Structure 1
Amino acid sequence: MLNQKAWIVTVCLLALVSLTGCWDRIEIEERGFVMALAIDLAPEKAKQGQKQKIQATYQIAIPAKLRTSGQSASVGGGGEEKAFLNITTSGDVLFKTARIASTRSSRSPYFEHTQVVLIGEELAREGYLDDIADVILRDNELRRKVTVITVQGKARDVLNSFSPQEKLMSEYIESLSENSRYVARMPKDLSVGLLSQRLNGRTSFAMQRIFMVNNQIHLSGSAVYNGSNEKLVGWLNGEETEGLLLLTGQYRGGVLVSDLPSGERVAVEVKQAATKLTVTMQNGMPSFRYQIEVTGEIGESWSTRNTLDETMVHQVERSTEKEVKRLTGETIKTLQTELKTDAIGLGATLARKHPDVWRKIKENWDNGQNMFSQVDVQVNAKATVTTPGSILMIEKKK
């Protein structure tokens, strides 16, 4: 009998333990969902001998104003009410700014649903990117897959603008970022996890760039970082980024527009692109050769000639090859002469193919003596048109 009572008491105690699992539960209505984070240098100047403070803008969703379809709700800047609250705070470190933000909202900041982190230009040029990545990776709420984008200007200005299409700026920016798969004028979106790998490897790289024109967001081009000091060194425009993607084998969904010998314009929609890079040693210096092959179809032609004509197709292929060489040539020129930064991975190829040579010059590759800016880089291109386009012929007036 005593054993039976002891057994019952034991079962009851175990049941009580299991019922205490929600003692630290926070109701969803009490959470402040931070959908986007913008990080800048604080506007106030630092005192002598001190580092300049960090300014962070937290975009917190307002659930009551995120109504489902079928209900009346303002979207972006088209209505009177916003579906988000921006809280801007400053502090010596990013972690402190988050704590201060919790004193300015009835809901404590919660980062598990954060979609994008924006890095301001000044902050990036000062070399704070590694510190920011470290903070994000240490936070057990922020996901490693959150997208990181550099802003040309103030990052907070982007979050203070409005989208006519989405209720949250974070959703709008993330959608634009994901469009890299369709538009060959911005690099693939970069997660904080991949960013950390680039920084730890001390390799130069490019990431997506946002800039503002007339209070409208534009996501095009690239922000270029030098791996030796982890600082932003400058920008590549849309065309130069197109060349970057061709050189790095990441070209997807692009349209190459060129002029035929007659001066008529034609556009080839690229369906496939392949890049091969070889390196040889000449007089003690590495020399690089690219072979880029693109395959596509004629998407648009302003020519009066029949696109089914074999001679016409050959001319389209030759003009497309010239365009590939022009785009990549502009990119190489900007990286070597202006930015002096190897964002196309020539050093990585040299390290794999000639490790002994790389060990001797790696400290002076794209810093110090900057061997990268002195090496010879050549590009060969081959274009193949598989589908000439519509067979519908309309007589055009001359």
Structure 2
Amino acid sequence: MFYKLAISMLCLLMLSGCWSRRELNELLIVLGVGVDWEDGHYLVSYQVVNPSEISNQKKAGDRPPSTLFQGRGRTLFEAARSVTAEAPRKVYMGHLQMYVIGEEAARRGIKELVDSAARDNETRLDFNFIVAKGTKAEDVLKLYTPVEKLPSYSMQQSLKTSEKNWAPTIAVTLDEALNKLSVQGDELALTGIRVIGSPDVGETKQNVETFMPPSRFRYSGIAAFKEDKLIGWLNEKESKGYTDITNNLDSTSIALACGDKRFLGVEVSSSDSKIKTKVVDGNPEVEISIRTEGNIVERTCTDIDLSDPKTIERLQKETKQSILANVEAAVARAKEIKSDIFGFGVQLGKEHAAFWKQIQDQWSDEYFPQLKVDYKIEMYIRKTGTTENSTIR
């Protein structure tokens, strides 16, 4: 009997209870974080949820669905703690969705930002990093957004949808950013976001009271980093090439000229790329193989006979040339700014470890800009639509 009692007491002692629990009404749920660099200090913006304004059980009031709290400091931790001077509750980062970095902060370096986010035991690894292009991160987080009430959620959904169906965007998470910043021979690249229209109007409720919001966000270009500093931007064409080379392209559209200001539409339905490296006479070389499949989705030129196999062959060649132009432009831009955003160096290290150890310190500034790159592209058009040659003239 005593033995059973002793075991029961020991089991009770091992139960710690909810010693660290915190009630929801004691927290500020953070969905978006923005970091800017101003006058030698970090400006950290927290976009937090107003629960009563997004509840389906209560009619929305006059308050916005989210609120922005800000803090300044010489370090990120100091800036975060200074928020408590005005925030009524402690911020909670467990539901963070978007981390927006101002362009000036990105050019200064983001190691501290990524390191600080990774050290927080409340944050998860699946939120996305983006760079505010030509504007401040706080301006992006202040926008009233249509359809979705919460701006950070709207941005995250738009980023994921664009990554799958467009091409010049990539959804990079915290763990992926950490990996890129932790190795030599693979630089970080993040999607850019810009504010269209007036930011002042965007932070008022008037922004969502018209059919076309006067101010809105749009993903634009890819930010290329060298080590941890933003060094340059890829345009739309170069960004498409980047996602294709790095095997991040799921689907996109290609327009082929077929007449006077007329284009034939090709939807890329799948794309698979592989990178191989070799060393020839002491010089590294890279071969990029891309296998793409697509469908004809738009035929504005009626003189194109889609039932003719020769026509399909010609369209495949033209589509292949468009893909080649994109990837060549991406590689040329990366070489120009000396940023190996494709991870050629990492692949070289895997396949030729001894050679990589000899040159890794000179890779970015000497070997990568002079790197010989060969392209092997295959393009197959699988479908031409249910009507093939339309009767429309």
- Structure 1 length normalisation: TM-score? 0.85
Partner of 1:334: 333
Matches within 5 A, 1:281-320: 281-304=279-302, 305-320=304-319
Q: Residue by residue, what CA displacement relative to the aligned partner does 1:279-316 show, whole Å, maximum 9, x if unpaired?
A: 33344322223232211111112221231221211111
Residues of 2 paired with 1:16 and 1:285: CA distance?
66
Letter in 2 for 1:349: Q
Letter in 1 for 2:370: Q
Matches within 5 A, 1:87-102: 87-102=69-84
Letter in 2 for 1:279: T
Of 112, 119, 134, which aligns to 1:131?
A: 112
Matches within 5 A, 1:125-274: 125-127=107-109, 129-152=110-133, 153-179=135-161, 180-187=163-170, 189-202=171-184, 203-214=186-197, 215-227=215-227, 230-260=228-258, 265-274=263-272
Q: Residue by residue, what CA displacement relative to the aligned partner does 1:180-201 show, whole Å, maximum 9, x if unpaired?
A: 12221212x1111221121111
Letter in 1 for 2:380: T
Larger CA deviation: 193-202 vs 321-330: 193-202
- Check whether the contact 1:186–1:238 (CA below 8 A) recurs between aligned residues: no
Q: Residue by residue, what CA displacement relative to the aligned partner does 1:307-348 show, whole Å, maximum 9, x if unpaired?
A: 1221211111011011011111111111112x2211112212
Partner of 1:386: 382
Partner of 2:321: 322
Shift of 1:15: 7.2
Verify: 1:357 aligned to 2:355, yes or no: yes
Partner of 1:64: 52
Partner of 2:205: none
Letter in 1 for 2:136: K
Residues of 2 paired with 1:301 and 1:7: CA distance?
82
Q: Residue by residue, what CA displacement relative to the aligned partner does 1:66-115 show, whole Å, maximum 9, x if unpaired?
A: 121x75437xxxxx531111011101211222222122122221111111
Q: Residue by residue, what CA displacement relative to the aligned partner does 1:246-283 show, whole Å, maximum 9, x if unpaired?
A: 11222211122222599852222112222233333344
Shift of 1:352: 2.3
- Check whether the contact 2:238–2:329 (CA below 8 A) recurs between aligned residues: yes
Q: Residue by residue, what CA displacement relative to the aligned partner does 1:185-237 show, whole Å, maximum 9, x if unpaired?
A: 212x111122112111143121221112213211132111113xx21111112
Shift of 1:380: 3.1
Residues of 1 paired with 2:94 and 2:193: CA distance?
24
Q: Size of the alignment, in residue pairs?
A: 372
Shift of 1:173: 1.1
Distance 1:57 1:263, change over 3 A: closer
Structure 2's unaligned 5+ residue stretches are: 198-214
Verify: 1:110 aligned to 2:92, yes or no: yes
- Check whether the contact 1:130–1:196 (CA below 8 A) recurs between aligned residues: no
- Check whether the contact 2:177–2:188 (CA below 8 A) recurs between aligned residues: no
Shift of 1:353: 2.5
Identity of aligned residues (%): 24
Shift of 1:24: 5.5
